[in-house]
Amino acid sequence: MKFNSISHNTNALSIVLLIARIFIGFAMLTHGYPKLQKLFSGENIEFFSLFGLSAKLSLALAVFAEFVGSFFIILGLFTRTFSVPLIITMLLAAFYVHGNDAFSERELALLYLCVYIMLFVLGGGKYSIDAMMQKKTRVY
């Protein structure tokens, strides 16, 4: 491997994508699980009301993205599809929820956003259920 080259090893890229998917998925679960608990707690929900939606619906959408989406990202199942709600959620977190805060408050959402954009562009890699499904549907 040449360090100043723009070429890449596809096997190494797939291993990096696997590691990134697993790490980012489990890391986001730590944000989504408390929201899931809050959603089903039966208590009064205090959450941001986005674009005129109720706080409960806004929370449910965040839970869908952060909790459900994370499982799909970890598995590499519909990786590009589930990266979209996560991209939207991180955009909202960085620029709407923390829009008036210091950069340090938005930094984590922006880092997640970058990883989800990468997964949207590159997909899950060859070590994903997406790749296994694609192999089964290929016609030779």
Dist. CA 105–CA 93, nearest whole Å: 10
Angle at 79 between CA 88 and CA 125, to 5 degrees: 135
Q: Is there a domain that residue 120 lies in?
A: yes
Q: Residue 136 to residues 1, 25, 62, 74, 133: CA-CA distances in angstroms?
A: 32, 25, 33, 20, 5
Q: Is there a domain that residue 42 lies in?
A: yes
Q: Is there a domain that residue 5 lies in?
A: no
Q: Which structural domain, as residue segments, surrounds residue 71?
A: 10-133
What is the domain count for the chain? 1
Q: Is there a domain that residue 83 lies in?
A: yes
Do the Cβ atoms of 26 and 70 come closer than 8 Å? Answer: yes
Render each residue's pLDDT in the chain as its tens digit; 140 residues. Answer: 677 777 778 888 999 999 999 999 999 999 999 999 999 998 888 888 878 888 889 999 999 999 999 999 999 999 999 999 999 999 999 999 898 999 999 999 999 999 999 999 999 999 999 999 887 765 54
